Amino acid sequence: MREIWPGDSYPLGATYDGAGTNFALFSEVAERVELCLFDDDGNEERVTLSEVDGFVWHCYLPGVGPGQRYGYRVHGPYSPGDGLRCNPNKLLLDPYAKAVEGSVQWDQAVYGYRFGEPDSRDDSDSAPYVPRSVVVNPFFGWGHDRPPATPYHDTVIYEAHVRGLTISHPKIPERIRGTYAALGHPEIIDHLTSLGVTAIELMPVHQFVTDHMLEKRGLSNYWGYNTIGFFAPHNAYSSSGQRGGQVLEFKAMVKALHEAGIEVILDVVYNHTAEGNHLGPTLSMRGIDNANYYRLVEDDRRYYMDTTGTGNSLLMRSPHALQLIMDSLRYWVRDMHVDGFRFDLAASLARELHEVDRLSAFFDLVQQDPVLSQVKLIAEPWDVGPGGYQVGNFPARWTEWNGRYRDTIRDLWRGEPAALPEFASRLTGSSDLYQDDSRRPAASINFVTCHDGFTLQDLVSYNDKHNEANGEDNRDGADDNRSWNCGVEGPATGPVAQLRERQKRNFLATLFLSQGVPMLSHGDEIGRTQQGNNNSYCQDNEISWVDWGTILEAGARNSTTGDDAGTREKRQLLDFTRRLARLRRDHPVFRRRRFFYGRPVRGSHDQLSDIAWLTPSGTEMTDADWTNGYAKALAVFLNGDAITEPDRRGRRISDDSFLLLFNAHHEVIKFTIPDDYGELWATELDTAMPVLSESRVCRAGEAVPVSGRSVRVLRRV
């Protein structure tokens, strides 16, 4: 006879204390709750939770420890029209489960209704077809692990997929490729540090589900934006064969990255879950307390409000949904030692009713939280609901993926007219979006590409999306890519290929020279392609994976001699990206903490403005120059002597001064070095030259040729 103690109603979830485990589950609608324990043979033991405090059902089981598989069966009303979907025949994941074993096996039994009869109730047992929650050991030898706490203005973000980045890396042991262990391997860490990366932003690692329709098409939810467990690291990314081993492996990965000075940021999906719309499966919260976790249509509560395009939205007005999210966030910071979060479709989190409210309960809770207010908080500032595009409208302390930066930089380099005024704002940190509410340039997370859309290689190789492999007749994915194929759709050689390489260098140079926080998409630095697929969410294969082979072989030889053209170009692009990272790291003028004033700064030695905008002839830009819709070239003077903010030790910063010469026109333009900003200038970077052989010195008054579609960076000497 199993010994059962009353236990405690807090904390929620399964909490092991070294002698036993406390189980606690919230459900306001439940009439009875059964805790189901499973042994190695799949046999089920049911324990009725007789204790309930404040709608939290709980017990303590002595002797139950790490590795124990469990789930819940919730007895209560089933009335879909009233938003009630309890069904004890459905085994439910604990919303607070720290680990999950197994995956969903799609069968009629995982649905609460009979197919074709959405208001009916299906009483078949789902236990054989659904994953199990797992009790984990919270103890881990963190040693002297400390968060790197890199200031935003010094941050370089690398967006990566755990599996896609590592699965084909030949220098990583095969048994750990595609896992957390691979991400913490020295080969990956060395690559990241060589790029100046200070933070890796991981695409979803919360436990997620591949939905039924994708699986029927032989595809998978590769990206992972379909969460079912907000506390559990996704089990398929673990090389460990032990139950709960993914937790220890994830922690070891974080520890290794921290030792290299790299922060870990998680892309999190708190706006919806994998249970989908009213025709979706019953896996967890739907069967526990549907109306307390999900936004339901008021006049017909069988249906779900959907501002995410995924079938449902979490009810941000519910204190229980808010508690779940806040508890999850704090767990990942305190127990898993992550350093920040990027919130998918963050506008959905701000919705109290229909409007996007920047002072919603969720943001108030985060703002006052002593743990979460101190980590990096990044918003994807849009969703698919009314008024969902909210770039520039998030609260202080938040940063944002700047979609307007992406669009503007793409427009400039593909030759769109009238792009210069917008380009000037994006290059200098988007003060028009962030300055009015006291935020700084670092509020702008600048990116040209990300997981969603074309890779950098494809951005310069395709005018149109090519998503046929997704099985949706090329209807999925964005149609507005703002891309340019340089004259040929798809793979090319000769002058077209050379122009594409220059365009990639232009995009990367602009990204690293812009004020704000640069974000690289994994593999862009070595020319990763998805063959024109701009929506690879379901492609867990070579379409999405980073191809490391030839680039690593070239690196091992430490020479491009004898490489084929493609490999040589990849190696040159990688070296160029590393040079950009060093340039940004070595010169604080490219990572200012405050916006430019546009005037001389008190205390500067030369009394020049901190920034100046110049025409190719060397004169200051006039209103007429800015409004000339056909102008595609300008020079920017950055005064390194006019950085007013002190460093972290209170010392005043000064730096070299630079002239940035941008030529988005297709022909060579000669830029005259102005007389008033310095006598001698050395070329630091030229995107027209993949390898800069020597730094030629130019003099004031000299006409410097800048190749068509290129950037040249001059440093005052």
Residues annotated as catalytic (active site), given as ranges? 344, 380
Say if residues 383 and 307 touch (Cβ distance below 8 Å): yes
> Residue 149 CA to chain centroid, in angstroms?
18
Say if residues 616 and 561 touch (Cβ distance below 8 Å): no
- Record the tokens describing residue 227, joined without a space: 């969460």
- Measured from the Cβ of residue 417, the count of other Cβ atoms closer than 10 Å reads 11
Quick one: which of 654, 578, 662, 566 has its CA closest to 613? 662
- Record the tokens describing residue 67, joined without a space: 């590795």
Helices (H), 184-315: 186-194, 212-216, 245-259, 285-293
- Measured from the Cβ of residue 699, the count of other Cβ atoms closer than 10 Å reads 12
List all residues 6 or more positions away from 273 whose beta carbon is below 8 Å from its beta carbon. 226, 227, 228, 284, 285, 312, 314
- Measured from the Cβ of residue 6, the count of other Cβ atoms closer than 10 Å reads 13
Phi, psi of 21 (to 5 degrees): -130, 135
Return the DSSP state at 255: H
Task: Give the integer Cα–Cα distance in Å for 208 and 284.
Answer: 12
Return the DSSP state at 234: P
One-letter amino acid for residue 188 of the chain: I
One-character DSSP codes across 162-195? HHHHHTT-TTS-GGGTTSHHHHTSHHHHHHHHHT
Task: Give the integer Cα–Cα distance in Å for 154 and 588.
Answer: 9
- Record the tokens describing residue 581, joined without a space: 């990272």
- Measured from the Cβ of residue 364, the count of other Cβ atoms closer than 10 Å reads 12
- Measured from the Cβ of residue 53, the count of other Cβ atoms closer than 10 Å reads 12
Vertex 40, ends 34 and 45: CA angle to 5°? 20
- For 96: left if phi > 0, alpha if psi spans -120 to 50, otherwise beta; the answer is alpha
Residue 198 Cα distances to 35, 57, 143, 333, angstroms = 43, 43, 21, 18
One-letter amino acid for residue 258 of the chain: H
Which secondary structure element, helix H or strand E, spans residue 508, and what is its range?
Answer: helix 494-513
- Record the tokens describing residue 58, joined without a space: 């709980």
Which secondary structure element, helix H or strand E, spans residue 321, and what is its range?
Answer: helix 319-334
Residue 44 Cα distances to 39, 106, 188, 581, 632, angstroms = 7, 21, 42, 56, 70
Return the DSSP state at 340: E
- Measured from the Cβ of residue 688, the count of other Cβ atoms closer than 10 Å reads 18
Nearest-10 crossing angle of helices 494-513, 565-586:
20
Say if residues 390 and 350 touch (Cβ distance below 8 Å): yes
Considering all CA atoms of the chain, what is the largest pairwise distance in Å, rounded to the nearest integer? 93
Task: Give the integer Cα–Cα distance in Å for 474 and 69.
Answer: 42
Beta strands in 49-98 (DSSP E): 51-53, 56-62, 69-75, 78-79, 84-85
Say if residues 182 and 567 touch (Cβ distance below 8 Å): no
Which secondary structure element, helix H or strand E, spans residue 432, and what is its range?
Answer: helix 431-434
Say if residues 590 and 522 touch (Cβ distance below 8 Å): no
Quick one: which of 28, 77, 100, 79 has its CA closest to 57? 28
Q: Parallel, antiparallel, or unpaired: how do β-strands 56-62 and 51-53 relate?
A: antiparallel
